Amino acid sequence: METHDKVQFDFSGEVAVVTGAASGIGREVARQFVAAGAHVYVNDLDPAKVDAVVAELGGNAIAAAGDVTALSTATGIVEAAKAKYGKLDILVNCAGIADEMVPTLEQDLDRWQHVLDVSLRGSYVMSREAGRLMTAARSGKIVNFASIAGVVGLPGRNAYSAAKAGIVMMTKTMAAEWGGFGIRVNAIAPGYIETPMVDDLMSRGRITDDMVHGRTPLRRFGEPSEIAGPVLFLCSSAASYVTGACLSVDGGWAAFGGITLPAAE
C-alpha cells in the first residue's frame, strides 16, 4: 500500500478550523494542515482531548473546544480567528457521530435527532458563521464530511444516512450561492476508515472485516491519512476550479454495483 506521510501541499500562513479533530479523520486532517504550514483551530467536544491534540501538533495548533451544534461555539471560533489573524481561509466540518444501526421500527427518536444535529446542524452552523467572514473577504474553502451512507442505502442507518445526504445537498447549495464570492464548498464521502467510530461498530458486531473487504473493490479499510490528503487537495490551488463536488474516497464502495467482486489475480 502507498504511504502518505509526505507533505504534498503548502498552506503557510493560512488559517483553518477543523471540527471533530480530537480523533480519527479529523485529527489527521488537523495534523496534515499543521504540517503544511497552516494555523489550525482544533475543535472537538472534550477540552482535555483537544488540549492533548494541540500539545501533540505544536505551536500552529490552537485549542477551540466546544459543541458545534451551539451557535456560540461557531461564532466564538470565527471571531477568535478574525481577532488573531484577520481572516479564516479554511473550514473542515468533520464532527459527527454514528447512529445505532438498528431496524427503523426500533430507532430512538431522540438519538435520531442528535445524530442529525451533530453532523448536519453542526456543519451548517459552522459554515454559516465562517461564511460571514469568508464572503466579506471574498475568499475561502469549506470541506464538509458526507459518507457512503449519504450516497447509497444502508439498512438501519436512517439518521446517519439522512444527515450525510443532507450534507451533500447543503454543500451544493452553498457552493452555488457563494461561488461569486470566491468561496469553494466541497464534500468528501469516505467509506469505512480505521477510526474509533468504526472500531466501535466492529466491537459491537455491526460490521466485520469480511463484510467490508468483501464489498470494497480495494479489499481493505481506508486509513485517516487517505482521507486527509483529498481534503487538503480540495483546499489547495490544485482544486481551484472545483466546487459543489462530493468526492467519494471509499476504495470503490459506491462504484461497485455487482453481487460479488471479481477474484483478484
Catalytic residue list: 160
Cell (9 digits) for 211: 463484510
CB 54 within 8 A of CB 41: no
Instruction: Tell me if residue 157 falls in helix, strand or coil.
Output: coil
- Residue 198, strand partner residues: none
Give 77-98 as a DSSP string.
HHHHHHHHHS---EEEE-----
Of 121, 19, 48, 136, nearest in space to 86 by CA? 136
Instruction: Tell me if residue 17 falls in helix, strand or coil.
Output: strand
Q: What is the spatial distance between Cα 115 and Cα 202, in angstroms, rounded to a whole number?
A: 19
Q: What is the spatial distance between Cα 142 and Cα 18, in angstroms, rounded to a whole number?
A: 10
CA distances from 27 to 167, 191, 261 (A): 20, 17, 32
